Chain A
Amino acid sequence: MRTAFAFGVWLSLTSAVCGQVVQPFAKLEAPGALNFAVVCDGGERVVGVAGEHDVSVWSLPSGARRIVGGLKGHISTNGVACNRKGLALGSNTGTVVIFDAAGTERRRIELKGEVAALAFSADGSFLATATIYSPVQIWDLASGKLQWTGSTDFGNTAGIRIAHGGNLIVVADGDTHVRGYDRKGKLLYTAEAGLLEPFDLSLSADGKTFAVAGAEGAIALHDAATGKMLKKSASSGNPIFALAMAPQGMKVIAFELDDFRMDPAGIAYWNPEGGELKNLKVDAKTLLGFGKDDKSLLLVRQDAPGKISVESVE
């Protein structure tokens, strides 16, 4: 359990729900209301988007903020990928801008269609992209050249994650499959992901398994080497558009949206090692996003316009 809290006063707010403990981690200030936020891989930064494309990047846990600009169009949650090496922002115009860790623009890539998914390799050497029309594509960031394009039976890739130092790229495809590729684009496997479209996936810390969720509302655990489904939860009753596996253990949290308004409907919590799918007793309407650092799952919530809380789930 995390012991170093940035704001000791929050200890009184610590709450235990469904066996999970939600604890304060950092407080952030924004100029106004955010649409959503993404915790960068590694948990050292949070990226928040307001309006169409007003992007702020906060350092954790200090809360220091800087503005990142230069991208036109509308940025959605699918259009942000970041880790310790850099930040990629993609919009509905198909433009993807890549920044280094210091926030300096390094490259632009023009895709044909609205960005549907982005993922950085851990070393920042390549970027994986997909649009609402295309399967996964891998771009070498030194040259800016397209390395290879994956394939689907039909439709696009909706979720991408990269593991094993860039040697395994796992994707969730709209044709209801998950696929694994090696660094050079060789298809390693295609596996069933359910009856409905999967939207997102998340790798375990050791890269041996990944969790997938989507329109079905269930979370499935797959073997990352073969794609084989190992376990599956019951359905939450709502589509799941984003999820994150804990850096330690096998816990998964997932963001549910109602299928009509696409408003936040709940935050599901699942432990594949025997646990049932539960609902985290946190007001989903305040949730901006989530992710993880090296120790915990992290929730980013908007207490009020411009007032952001980052909390750990343990």
Chain B
Amino acid sequence: MELSRRDLLYKCIALGVVKLGVGLSPGLAVEAWLRAEKMARQATPIDQLGPFYKKGAPNTVVLRSAGDPGLALAVAGAVYNTRGEELPGAKIEIWQTNSLGHYDLSGYRYRATLLAGAKGAYDFQSVIPGHYPARVCQHIHFLVSAPGHKPLVTQMYFGSDPVFKGDPAKNPNDDCPSVELVRPILLTDQPETMSARATFELVMETL
């Protein structure tokens, strides 16, 4: 007979493989253990930093300006650690190309520094980045920092990117190191005011 996770923990306690601290009953200990495991999250896969990171990006949640070409994009998410704890105050630096695939190297267009709010939440307004010859996949760079955690360098990709032919799991591309970084895109509103939405949770490893 196969033991459940709960049964196995009770057995470990009974056999002394798991010892309990003073004042902790087996029932409380097992429930706390299972709760912590349930909350645990996989760290967000890392991706390369470069090549166009620029420090000192302004604090703004609106990256696009009126009249900018490209499909409007809203990205939202939250910052957690691998224990599932929210990380309010985490610093999130983002940078991307404009809709035509150009990075701003002389200024800070499509670059921003955000601070995660209560419950680790963040959001920003931008456009879907363009393609450029050196990279196959559309992407947004993220650099996330929080005290006590390993800095997270990663990138977000778009399920709507033609390179994935509608199915990133079946049609992966070497330019994107993990299908977990490819986010589904939700189109909203009317055709005249259409915009795209995506969510991207950022999970940091503790030091």
Q: Choose from A114, A132, A195 the contact partner of B55 (Cβ within 8 Å).
A: A195
Chain B interface residue count: which class?
20 to 34
Q: Which residues of B have CB within 8 Å of A176? A: 53, 55
Query: Would you call B48 and A195 a contact (CB within 8 A)?
Result: no
Tell me which residues from 68 to 82 in chain A have a Cβ below 8 Å from any Cβ of chain B: none
Query: Would you call A197 and B50 a contact (CB within 8 A)?
Result: yes
Query: Would you call B133 and A260 a contact (CB within 8 A)?
Result: yes
B57 to chain A: closest residue by CB: A195
A215 to chain B: closest residue by CB: B52
A114 to chain B: closest residue by CB: B48
Tell me which residues from 118 to 168 in chain A have a Cβ below 8 Å from any Cβ of chain B: 132-133, 153-156, 158
Tell me which residues from 188 to 217 in chain A have a Cβ below 8 Å from any Cβ of chain B: 195-197, 199, 215-217
Check: A2 CB closer than 8 A to any chain B CB. Answer: no
Query: Would you call A259 and B103 a contact (CB within 8 A)?
Result: yes
Query: Would you call A216 and B105 a contact (CB within 8 A)?
Result: yes
Check: B94 CB closer than 8 A to any chain A CB. Answer: no
Check: B26 CB closer than 8 A to any chain A CB. Answer: no
Given A155-B53, A174-B50, A176-B53: A262 in contact with B134 (beta carbons within 8 A): yes
Taking the nearest CB of chain B, how far is it from the CB of A53, in angstroms?
15
Q: A197-B49, A260-B101 provided; 19 other pairs, C-beta below 8 A? A: A132-B48, A133-B46, A133-B48, A154-B145, A154-B151, A154-B153, A155-B48, A155-B153, A158-B50, A176-B55, A197-B53, A215-B53, A215-B105, A239-B105, A260-B132, A260-B133, A261-B133, A262-B133, A262-B134
Q: Which residues of A have CB within 8 Å of B153? A: 154-155
Q: Which residues of A have CB within 8 Å of B53? A: 155, 174, 176, 196-197, 215
- Number of A positions contacting B (CB below 8 A): 23
Candidate in B49, B55, B134, B153 with the most chain A CB atoms within 10 angstroms? B49
A154 to B73 Cα, complex, angstroms? 27
A285 to B80 Cα, complex, angstroms? 47
A239 to B106 Cα, complex, angstroms? 11
B48 to chain A: closest residue by CB: A132
Query: Would you call B49 and A154 a contact (CB within 8 A)?
Result: yes
Q: Choose from A175, A259, A261 the contact partner of B52 (Cβ within 8 Å).
A: A259
Q: When A and B form their complex, which 8 residue pairs have the shortest distance between CB atoms, in order from nearest? A: A155-B49, A154-B151, A132-B48, A262-B134, A174-B49, A261-B133, A196-B54, A197-B53
A137 to B161 Cα, complex, angstroms? 36
A257 to chain B: closest residue by CB: B134
A77 to B174 Cα, complex, angstroms? 19
Q: Which residues of B have CB within 8 Å of A158? A: 50-51
A307 to B55 Cα, complex, angstroms? 43
Check: B21 CB closer than 8 A to any chain A CB. Answer: no
Query: Would you call B51 and A197 a contact (CB within 8 A)?
Result: yes
A173 to chain B: closest residue by CB: B49
